[in-house]
Structure 1
Amino acid sequence: MLYGICNLGIVPIRASANDTSEMISQLLFGEHFSILEKDKSWSKIKVFFDGYEGYIDNKQFEEISEQLFNKLSEKENIYSSEIIDFITSNSNDLITIPLGSRLPFFTNKSFSINKMIFNFDGKTCYDKLPKSEIIQKAFTYLNTPFLWGGKTPFGIDCSGFTQMVYKLCGYQLFRDARAQATQGEVLSFIEESEPGDLAFFDDEEGEIIHVGIILKDYHIIHAHGKVRIDTLDHSGIFNADLQKHTHKLRVIKKMI
């Protein structure tokens, strides 16, 4: 088995081994993964954090040893906490990193990947934060444009948004809304929910297709066109701009 780590700010994960293939997710700097298949140009990977699988360009990652992969898997997660920040390498390369990038083995403003040493003097977040922090992190992404497969403040999808917000607070969610809906504890009514709980929405066939984070006073923050705040009721999400319901409520779940 081969292993790798993302050594660029943002790398697209694609549905198939082709530059024109659908982007289904993204790797952020410092995320590590196992390599399931590798050919001349592309690798099929499995992301350690959430088990998500897809294809990435061989030019956009660095291979690591199994020993390093295992150390990364056991080490605490420390993430960059500003919308955008920078790291510099000992060869004077400057790399732009987005919110939620992982800083492997970070200590005393530096960290390393293989033999490369990086310096970072920005703000970080780590450990499990109180549930109230989920809302504060969610507001960081407000007005981020919707991007299918996106996970950054420059473009994000609905489940990427919920996953990243929880990740920055120290909690692990699956990548897709349908998978996230299998996690947590079911709540029977909106009235039982607290800010930070998740609401899931389905289509006419009953498939989970959308997720958002519940706010106080029957509101929800979610990625639909952009990360926005709308009203939540027993029917679903009511969009005041459109004066109609845009999503049908399926289930509410307490994750923490």
Structure 2
Amino acid sequence: MNYGICNLSIIPLRIEPNDISEMVSQVLFGEHFKVLEMRKKWSKIRLAFDNYEGWIDNKQFEEIDEETYFELKTSSSFLAAELIDFTTDEQQNFLTIPIGSSLPFYKNQQLVVNTKNFNYEGEVYNGKKPKDSLIEIAYKFLNTPYLWGGKTPFGIDCSGFTQMVYKLCGYKLLRDASQQATQGEVLSFIEESEPGDLAFFDNNEGNITHVGIIMNDNYIIHAHGKVRIDRIDHSGIFNVDTQRHTHKLRVIKKIV
């Protein structure tokens, strides 16, 4: 088995091994993974954080050994907390990184990617935060444009948004809305929910296709066109701009 780590800011994770294939997610700086299959130009990987699989360009990651992979998997997780910041290597080369980027082996503003040392002076998140921090961090992404497969303030999809908010608070969610809906405890009514709980929505075929984070007073924050705040009721999401329902409520889950 081969292993790798992302040494660039944001790289696309694609469904097929070519540049015009659909982007299903992104790999952020410092994220590590297993390499399931390696071809001349592309590698199929499985991310350590959520076991999500896809193809990345061989020019956009570095290989690491098995020992380093398992050290990363068992070491304490440190994440960049600034919306956008930068890290520098020993030659003072400058690399921009987004919020949620991993900081491998972080200590005293120093981190190590493969065998290269980096300096990062920004705010860092580590460990589990109280549940009320979920809404506070969700606000950081407000007005982020919707991007299928996105996970950053430059573009994000509905499940990427919820996953990143939970990740920054120290909790693991799976990548897609349908996968996230398998986690946590079912709540029977909106009235039972608390800020930070997840609401899931289905399409006409009954497939879960959307997710958002419940707020106080029957509001929800979710990625639809952009990360926005709308009303939620027993029918679903009521868009405050168009004054109509846009998503049909399926289930509410308590994760934390």
User: Which one-letter code corresponds to 1:155 in the other structure?
Assistant: G
* Shift of residue 115, structure 1, vs aligned partner: 2.0
SS of the equivalent of 2:217 reads coil
What does residue 8 of structure 1 align with?
8
Q: How many residues align?
A: 256
Aligned Cα root-mean-square deviation (Å): 0.5
Checking the alignment, whether the CA contact within 8 Å between 2:5 and 2:114 is kept in structure 1 is no
What does residue 84 of structure 2 align with?
84
Could you tell me the TM-score, scaled by structure 2's length?
0.99
* Shift of residue 92, structure 1, vs aligned partner: 2.2
Unaligned runs of 5+ in 1: none
Q: Deviations over 1:104-156 (max 9, x none)?
A: 01001111123211011111011000000000000000000000000001100
User: Which one-letter code corresponds to 1:40 in the other structure?
Assistant: K
Task: Find runs of 4+ consecutive structure 1 residues off by over 2 angstroms.
Answer: none
Could you tell me the TM-score, scaled by structure 1's length?
0.99
Percent of aligned pairs with the same residue?
64
User: Which one-letter code corresponds to 1:241 in the other structure?
Assistant: D
SS of the equivalent of 1:63 reads strand
Cα distance in 2 for partners of 1:113, 1:168 equals 20
Unaligned runs of 5+ in 2: none
Is 2:174 aligned against 1:174?
A: yes
User: Which one-letter code corresponds to 1:55 in the other structure?
Assistant: W
Cα distance in 2 for partners of 1:40, 1:211 equals 37
* Shift of residue 243, structure 1, vs aligned partner: 1.3
Q: 1:1-256 alignment to 2 at 5 Å?
A: 1-256=1-256
Cα distance in 2 for partners of 1:43, 1:92 equals 29
Q: Deviations over 1:20-75 (max 9, x none)?
A: 00000000000000000001100000000000000000000000000000000001
Cα distance in 2 for partners of 1:199, 1:129 equals 20
Cα distance in 1 for partners of 2:60, 2:124 equals 24
Cα distance in 2 for partners of 1:128, 1:240 equals 33
Cα distance in 2 for partners of 1:114, 1:28 equals 15
Q: Deviations over 1:158-200 (max 9, x none)?
A: 0000000000000000000000000000000000000000000
* Shift of residue 240, structure 1, vs aligned partner: 1.8
